[in-house]
Structure 1
């Protein structure tokens, strides 16, 4: 039971895979074209069969008509022979009269045979006519079905092509959808943004470097000015100190000289 179950599942799986492959490989237009061809071939075979049946019916009808014509002809001959026999009998020629009466009888027998043959053919003709009518009706229905199938094929083919075109347009639109994160445009935009961010970072880095250089220059300028002022201060301070000392010495000297004068006085 287990083996049978496993084999059954394997067989089912194989059939499913084969059917899936066939479904993928099927081309609706080709399949419908093949259906139309197969149905057209079936109609051709049916037409040949119907044509043969009609031909047989026409042969039977021809034989029937020939029997009717023969019956009519033999009836006319029987009437002519009987009339001739009456003429000879009226004329007193009994032998000739009997002869023509016998001919009339033969004609009547032939007439009866033709009538029997025609009568026997009537049921066959009726049944064959009914069969032919049914076959013609069935053939007409097959032709109608074929026209419907062709129309349906054209409709489905057009719908399949329209669906394929819509799918192609959808894929094309989707491939350039800028709102789709997976689109190529979005990927390129992200790449450009990254590059712009990198350049902006470089600019900021360069700007900070320049600011640092200018700041160092300003610091250097300040230091230079400090040094210059210090030098100037030193230079100016020595002269002022010297000038101040000289003044103070002179005054002291004056003071001293006046004091000395006063003292001397």
Structure 2
């Protein structure tokens, strides 16, 4: 997978409207589990792409440093050959002086070539550096959202289990026969209170909608969008 494709998927997942996805899901818990798997898989792929891109960038930077060093070295050799030629020419050794001047020209040619190679590599190095920075930024956002997804998934599962346990207990208590003929009124009152508590609990559970549960995730998506736009303005 190319780094461009990975970068696109990182940006897409980092900005994903999790709230909308969950609102449309028949089983939010399964949807969260699938999102977590998708995030983890794409984070792994993106990390590999970052590592490969970063490794290539470091090689280019090393080559650039070598070209810069070579240009400097050839410049020093050209200067030394030129000075030697001047000294020989001053002493009347014209032929030998010409030979050193030719060596200086060769060194200057090598210097020029090294400088050209260094300049040619600079735009590519700058572009690769930007790609690595964007990938790392997207990875940070994805890892943050993955942590939020896992926390919300665990919270949702815990709440569902708690609600199920409470309803099971209420159903069990409801079916118990106290076998006390003198407590008909008390048993009837207990039944009414259980039904009221059951209804109240279900009303509260229904009122606690997925919108409220995942409002923080939606805000995180907004924050990622703000950060992305700020990065675009700075670029």
Residues 11-160 of structure 1 aligned to structure 2 (within 5 Å): 28=29, 32-160=32-160
Query: How many Å separate the matches in 1 of 2:86 and 2:170?
Result: 103
Map Cα deviations across residues 88-130 of structure 1 (whole Å, 9 max, x no partner).
Answer: 1222211121111111111111000010111111111111111
Count of residue correspondences: 158
Query: How many Å separate the matches in 2 of 1:172 and 1:90?
Result: 115
The ranges of structure 1 where at least 4 consecutive aligned residues each deviate by more than 4 angstroms after the TM superposition are: none
Map Cα deviations across residues 155-194 of structure 1 (whole Å, 9 max, x no partner).
Answer: 1122122222222222222222xxxxxxxx17x678xxxx
CA drift at 1:40: 0.7
Query: How many Å separate the matches in 2 of 1:163 and 1:79?
Result: 85
Query: How many Å separate the matches in 2 of 1:135 and 1:128?
Result: 10
Provide the residue aligned with 1:164 in structure 2: 164
Provide the residue aligned with 2:214 in structure 1: none
Change in Cα spacing, 1:130 to 1:152, as seen in structure 2 (3 Å) is same
Query: How many Å separate the matches in 2 of 1:130 and 1:81?
Result: 42
Structure 1: unaligned runs, 5 residues or longer: 1-21, 177-184, 191-265
Change in Cα spacing, 1:51 to 1:90, as seen in structure 2 (3 Å) is same
Task: Please report the RMSD computed on the Cα atoms of aligned residues, expressed in angstroms.
Answer: 2.4
Indicate the SS of the match to 1:106: helix
Structure 2: unaligned runs, 5 residues or longer: 1-24, 182-235
Indicate the SS of the match to 1:92: coil
